[in-house]
């Protein structure tokens, strides 16, 4: 079982959407997605909750979590969410960076675009890795 870690600073937007898409589309016998942040926020952004609810994914009971060494050590791949210098670096993990705009405070129309961009990236990752 492979584990993909989606990380950003606050774990309240992009990384939450990415992990949710991953887990809704993946073959669960092959991989799972988790998300975390270097400075987790208190909750998932309301605009993210709304945009994901529109596609049938409920993140209302999800709490942002800290990207600990233990959590990072359990992953096979790290995907950061365009957080630049503040993105975590975890030695030994295969890494990719998806430069995505932070959805915090954005109009829901823009959050939908970010959500849909993430879905396309997740679908490409799953196809490339054979995890569907």
Distant-in-sequence, close-in-space partners of 113: CB < 8 Å, separation ≥ 6: none
pTM value is 0.94
Q: Report pLDDT digits (tens) over 31-41.
A: 999 999 989 99
Residues 9 and 42: their CA atoms lie apart, in Å, by 12
Ranges of residues in the chain with a pLDDT under 50 are none
pLDDT of 88 reads: 67
What residues does 36 pair with on adjacent strands?
7
CB of 64 closer than 8 Å to CB of 104 = no
Look at the domain 2-129 and name its fold.
Rossmann fold (3.40.50)
| Length of the chain in terms of residues written | 132
Residues 19 and 118: their CA atoms lie apart, in Å, by 10
Question: Residue ranges of the domains in the chain?
Answer: 2-129
pLDDT of 55 reads: 98
- Two structure tokens written together for 10: 């606050």
């Amino acid at each position: 079982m492979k584990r993909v870690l989606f990380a950003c600073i606050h774990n309240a937007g992009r990384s939450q959407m990415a992990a949710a898409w991953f887990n809704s589309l993946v073959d669960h016998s092959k991989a799972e997605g988790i998300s975390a942040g270097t400075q987790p926020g208190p909750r998932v952004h309301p605009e993210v909750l709304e945009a994901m609810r529109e596609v049938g994914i409920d993140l209302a009971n999800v709490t942002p979590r800290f990207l600990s060494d233990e959590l990072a050590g359990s992953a096979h791949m790290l995907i950061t969410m365009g957080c630049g210098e503040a993105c975590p670096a975890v030695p030994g993990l295969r890494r990719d960076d998806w430069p995505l705009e932070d959805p915090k405070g954005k109009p829901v129309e823009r959050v939908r675009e970010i959500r849909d961009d993430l879905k396309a990236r997740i679908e490409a990752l799953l196809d490339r890795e054979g995890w569907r």
